[in-house]
Amino acid sequence: MRENNIQNKIINATKWSSITEISAKLVSPITNMILARILVPEAFGIVATITMIISFVDMFTDSGFQKYLVQHEFKDEKDKHDNANIAFWTNFGISLLLLGIIYIFREQIATLVGNPGLGNVIAIACLQLPITSFSSIQMALYQRDFDFKTLFLVRIISTFIPFVVTIPLALLGFSYWALIIGTICIQLSNALILTIKSKWKPKLFYSMRIFKEMFSFSIWSLIEAISIWLTIWVDAFIIGNTLSEYYLGLYKTSTTMVNALMALITSATVPVLFSTLSRLQKNDSQFNHVFLKIQRLVSIFVFPLGVGVYLYSDLATKLLLGSQWSEASSVIGIWALTSSIMIVFGSYCSEVYRAKGRPKLSLLAQVLHLIVLVPTIIISAKYGFWVLVYARSWIRLQILLIHFIIMKFSIGIPIFKTIWSVFPTAVSALFMLFLGYVLQQMNEGILWSVVSIIICALFYFTILLFFPNMRSEIYKIGKRIISKV
């Protein structure tokens, strides 16, 4: 595949992926801002528990087939559609089986996750599991073909559903039911639109030979997904069992808001990166070049975003969540700072491993991280909520050391190159951190905070322009954006 062709596909895919994610992520915080002022933290804590269960079960219904459909090189369209059929019927069958198990043991599951008496709530919320089978496969096929324009329509419609379903129900006093019903409606909308628009439609076809071939790849993606789930949810599980729904709601809502903010950038680039690298898996030099380039471009925006939210976490909390969430400020600040480091140096590594057809490397990294993460959370929880928050936020950087080693010795991307690639943005962000701290000592008013944020942003990009390679990158980004508008 010629370099120009790849670059054009990346630019076009990134454009639509970016428009989709930015639109969704701009609207999503508005939804959360409204709901946070209507519902109490306990309601978000209950929904966080339900989300934890659904996300765990979802891993088994997907079985890693989505990644397989994006990454695998098929012989022709028929071969691709045959594999899609196997993936769909397997996902659908597993989702029905697991839904039945959840219904039978719903009360025991509710007690296990620290919410006794909410068994029926969990069972009803899990009705979305078989629905996602109708959208997950089509979504993978669109990503594979770089067709992010179609996904834009689906995502935008689902983004506005909370305004006509969730928020009205919350205002009527439905509490956590408003969030649950809204989520089910979103999944139903995604399934209907994607199934109608997709060129591929489910057919009554199944082949054990194809299933075995898919499963041999996907089993490692599934095991890796379980390890990632543990990394994401082990803290919520422990908080829900040892503390209270209030602290669980406070913690997960805060971290979710930060993740949504960061996802303005990452969600637009991860699908494009994986699809692109999967097509370049046989060309090492171009593969490495594309990875480092996207990592560098992402760091331009992620580093200052993380530093900015850390510096102005009080203002961010007031704007995003409201006065009843004042305790969330410290969680939002430290999580944003460590997230910016994690995203630049760690989040894209798993996509590299999978694009190379080596998901075992990602699993290895997650397992080595869990060995340190789980004991840290268990021990820190004994000393209270805030010790757990800070321990959890910083200990996750341990996985970066693991990724650096794996990327060097298994993928062939040197540690020095990875760090040097983002050196200008890291230095500029550090200078911005220092300036922001000084400006905060001058005045504590909201108006001054807004002014100082603008000063910090201008200062950051001014420092960045002192680096010749960054001047060139920023100029190219601006030129491409203008040409595509």
334: how many CB neighbours lie within 10 A of its CB? 21
Instruction: State mean pLDDT over 349-373.
Output: 86
Instruction: State mean pLDDT over 365-373.
Output: 92
pLDDT per position as a tens digit, 432-451: 999 999 999 888 788 888 99
Instruction: State mean pLDDT over 175-186.
Output: 87
Contact, 63 vs 215, CB < 8 A? yes
- Say if residue 287's pLDDT is above 90: no
- Say if residue 87's pLDDT is above 70: yes
The pLDDT value given to residue 7: 57
Under DSSP, is residue 412 helix (H, G, I), strand (E, B) or coil?
A: coil
Contact, 85 vs 211, CB < 8 A? no
Q: Is residue 234 part of a domain?
A: yes
Contact, 190 vs 158, CB < 8 A? yes
C-alpha–C-alpha distance, residues 112 and 109, integer Å: 5
Q: Is residue 74 part of a domain?
A: yes
The pLDDT value given to residue 1: 47
110: how many CB neighbours lie within 10 A of its CB? 21
pLDDT category of residue 305 using cuts at 50, 70 and 90: very high
- Say if residue 387's pLDDT is above 80: yes
Q: Is residue 358 part of a domain?
A: yes
Query: What mean pLDDT value characterizes the chain?
Result: 83
Residue % of the chain over a pLDDT of 70: 90
Contact, 18 vs 270, CB < 8 A? no
- Residue 60, sorted as left (phi over 0), alpha (psi -120 to 50) or beta, turns out to be alpha
DSSP designation for 16: H
pLDDT category of residue 45 using cuts at 50, 70 and 90: confident
Q: Is residue 451 part of a domain?
A: no
59: how many CB neighbours lie within 10 A of its CB? 17
pLDDT per position as a tens digit, 375-386: 999 999 999 999
Q: Is residue 446 part of a domain?
A: no
Instruction: State mean pLDDT over 145-158.
Output: 76
Q: Is residue 472 part of a domain?
A: no
**Total domain count, the chain:** 1
pLDDT category of residue 475 using cuts at 50, 70 and 90: confident
Q: Is residue 440 part of a domain?
A: no
209: how many CB neighbours lie within 10 A of its CB? 8
The domain in which residue 399 lies consists of 3-421
- Say if residue 454's pLDDT is above 90: yes
- Say if residue 276's pLDDT is above 80: no
- Top-confidence residue, 313 or 265: 313
Q: Torsions phi, psi of 116, nearest 5?
A: -60, 140
The pLDDT value given to residue 187: 87
Q: Torsions phi, psi of 310, nearest 5?
A: -60, -45
Instruction: State mean pLDDT over 391-395.
Output: 94
Token couple for 277: 């690298």
Residue % of the chain over a pLDDT of 90: 25
C-alpha–C-alpha distance, residues 345 and 398, integer Å: 11
Long-range contacts of 292-296 (CB under 8 A, 24+ apart): 292/413, 292/417, 292/418, 292/421, 294/269, 294/348, 295/344, 295/348, 295/418, 295/421, 295/422, 296/421, 296/422, 296/425, 296/473
Q: Is residue 96 part of a domain?
A: yes
> Which alpha helices (H) appear in 343-421, and where do they start and end?
349-355, 359-381, 385-395, 398-406, 415-421
pLDDT category of residue 8 using cuts at 50, 70 and 90: low
